[in-house]
Amino acid sequence: MTQTIEHQEQEDALPDGDTPLTPKEVAALRADFPYLERPARNGEALAYLDWAATSQKPVGVMAAEFDFYGRSNGAAGRSTYQLADEATAAWEDAREAVAGFVGARGSQLVFTKNATEAVNLVALAIGHASAGRPAGHGGPAAGTDPSARLRVGPGDEIVVTVAEHHANLVPWQELAARTGAVLRWLDLTKDGRIDPSSVKVITDRTRILALTHVSNVTGAITPLAQILPAARSAGALVVLDTCQSSPHLPVDFAALVAAGVDAMVLSSHKMLGPTGIGALVATEELLDAMPPVLTGGSMIETVTMASSTYMPAPARFEAGSQPLAQAAGWHAAVDYLSEVGMGRLYAGEQALLDRTVRGMAEVPGLRILGPEDTHDRVGVVSFTLEGVHPHDVGQVLDAAGVAVRTGHHCAQPIHAHFAVPSSSRVSFGPVTTPEEIDRFLDAVASVRGYFQR
């Protein structure tokens, strides 16, 4: 990547006082993103404002994947020839890099194909434990199985929130249905923030709390400090969805664990990395307690015709051929983000968010779904336009060279909270500029007039 950006150490909490990137620095970063070289549908420059769905990739990420296939492509962990050794090293180096980026240890990170699989991995492991399947190396002595702490049954409670992406809701609905547990949820305030006053739904029967760190609809940051103490008091397992926080904020797993989090999930493709890879980051205690879910090659110790024993975590949860090139690309992505500095990116995003929210407030008939201020938010804003379907909004913006997300954003319950079936959404990335925000605002202001001709 460009060398004009000074390294910025990650911080443990929300950034305070970091210096936003200068226009010159942003321009230097934009030179790293090939998508900006292609025109939009209208022949003009593309204003890509759908980073919350999937991020664009810098050339270094693409080069890392290409370089892996061209120079180090081998069967990781399966032989001793040079290419295999290099492939193994690339895989484990990526594990350490991604874990380090979020303040975790490599031993705490399990690679998955995406964050959805990571949530399901935890939910399915709990389901296996609840059915009496032991953790670890198969058949521990009675009373010594660490998976016993994960067992959920009738009368137990699983708590989620109304703000969840379907990926952090449906797996828990399924687990409740399979085990007889009761699914409960934290409600939302009128403006769509998770309501700390609804923490009373967490009781001494709560076994699991699964919640988002940042809403993918409103961009609101969850008030963890007001929620996690109740989960800790109940002894509940806490699973945090960081898919919308890790691309925007410094995330420190060690600090989250100290606050009561047991596991979190990551999505590479939202963090400038490749598609097809994500991660579960969890305490060693949780990973040791989880029975295997996917079984086959790579995750075993000994296999006979009668039974098998399994590798320790994280290998126990990484059955089959690994997404090696994608891991190499994700390694390059977190290196890129670290060099730019997450605190600086967050600071710059706040200025863009303020510009966007103020501009949207001037558009007749536009309703922001979520807080109308910028306090404790990231650059994700959903909205509706009176009398215009969100898909039509998206098409008009596309014709103006502006790309936004339309639909329910895999989050139907929070849309029901706002009494709408769907919305349009604008979201920012590291190379979003004020000029792109202004293009969006000009285009969205013209939408209702287009349909009233």
Structural class in CATH, domain 23-58+341-451: alpha beta
What is the per-residue pLDDT across 155-170, written as a single tens digit (0 to 9) for each?
Answer: 999 999 999 999 999 9
CA distance 279 to 439: 35
Q: How confident is the model at residue 11 (pLDDT cuts 50, 70, 90)?
A: very low
What is the per-residue pLDDT across 105-153, written as a single tens digit (0 to 9) for each?
Answer: 999 999 999 999 999 999 999 999 999 888 765 444 445 678 888 999 9
What is the per-residue pLDDT across 338-372, written as a single tens digit (0 to 9) for each?
Answer: 999 999 999 999 999 999 999 999 999 999 999 98
Q: Count CA atoms closer than 13 A to 250's CA, side-chain side.
A: 22
Q: Tokens 């969100």: give the residue.
A: 390
Whether residue 58 contacts residue 413, with contact meaning beta carbons closer than 8 Å, is answered with no
CA distance 104 to 213: 17
Q: If you average pLDDT over residues 43-51, what whole number do you get?
A: 97
Q: If you average pLDDT over residues 245-259, what whole number do you get?
A: 98
Between strands 237-241 and 109-112, the pairing is unpaired
Whether residue 281 contacts residue 264, with contact meaning beta carbons closer than 8 Å, is answered with yes
Average pLDDT of the chain to the nearest whole number? 94
* Angle subtended by helix axes 59-71 and 82-101, to nearest 10: 150
pLDDT at 271: 98
pLDDT at 14: 54
pTM, 2 dp? 0.94
Whether residue 277 contacts residue 323, with contact meaning beta carbons closer than 8 Å, is answered with yes
pLDDT at 144: 65
Q: If you average pLDDT over residues 24-28, what whole number do you get?
A: 98
Which residues pair with residue 241 across a beta bridge?
A: 212, 265
Domain ranges of the chain: 23-58+341-451, 65-338
Architecture, CATH, for domain 65-338: 3-Layer(aba) Sandwich (3.40)
What residues are labeled active site?
410
CA distance 202 to 184: 8
